[in-house]
Amino acid sequence: MLKKLILAGVVAAAAYAAPASAAPIFSDDFNGENGGTGVLNYGTVTGSFANWTVTQGSVDLIGNGYFDFYPGNGLYVDMDGSTGQSGGITTNATFGAGSYLLTFDLGGSTRGETNTVIVQFDGNTIGSFTLNSGDPLTAESISFSSATSGKLAFIQTNQGDNMGLILDNVQLSTAAVPEPMTLSLFGAGLAAMQLRRRKKA
């Protein structure tokens, strides 16, 4: 009977020890912008983003057959628009304090130079990415925690020359964390196993 109780406790602890799945709370692939058509200086001279505000310089909405440097990826954002000022975009939404997983695609400018984009949350830098011109569109990720609420921002830092890093497929998820009872249940299971070992001894 004791063996069955111990086994049940360990199984229950293991079940509750599984972390909660990361839950996406924000996602944008830019494909729905401007009716699916690319345009220069988007969000400043022409149109406006559904989920972002251009907060520095300018950016271009390109791809989908319009300055399509990465064919097959729909629309994406050139972080250095066509005004000679490197751009920055910030989410319209504000996200609460907590632990997060941020994923996005980033690619080289294809123009021959090296560019850097920093990623910020609530004005604090959580990541920096420097890519060369020939670097392909690659999935990147940042895990971070913040004690305060804030907005998410991508900012190209180098001098503008009308063509920058390519940003696409931004997704922010709450980080997978154990349920509140996980540690106590897991500890109870381990204690039960120790008790069983002592009785055998």
- Which CATH number is 102's domain given? 2.60.120.200
7 compared with 79, residue with greater pLDDT: 79
pLDDT score of 186 more than 70: no
Q: HSE of 98 in the Cβ direction (CA atoms, 13 Å)?
A: 16
Which range marks the domain in which residue 13 is found? Answer: 1-19+180-201
Whether residues 13 and 28 share a domain: the answer is no
Whether residues 86 and 132 share a domain: the answer is yes
Measured between alpha carbons, how far is 166 from 109 in angstroms, rounded to an integer? Answer: 6
Residue 88 CB burial class (10 angstroms; 0-12, 13-18, ≥19): buried
Mean pLDDT along residues 140-158 = 97
The model's confidence at residue 178, banded by pLDDT at 50, 70 and 90, is low
2 compared with 164, residue with greater pLDDT: 164
Whether residues 29 and 73 share a domain: the answer is yes
Mean pLDDT along residues 97-102 = 98
pLDDT score of 181 more than 80: no
Whether residues 141 and 163 share a domain: the answer is yes
Whether residues 92 and 6 share a domain: the answer is no
Whether residues 70 and 111 share a domain: the answer is yes
Q: What is the pTM of this model?
A: 0.79
Mean pLDDT along residues 151-179 = 87
Q: How many domains does the chain have?
A: 2
Whether residues 1 and 87 share a domain: the answer is no
Measured between alpha carbons, how far is 40 from 53 in angstroms, rounded to an integer? Answer: 15
Cβ–Cβ < 8 Å for 182, 164: no
Residue 19 pLDDT: 45
pLDDT above 90 covers a percentage of the chain that reads 69
Whether residues 106 and 58 share a domain: the answer is yes
Pairing of strands 124-131, 75-78: unpaired
Mean pLDDT along residues 176-199 = 49
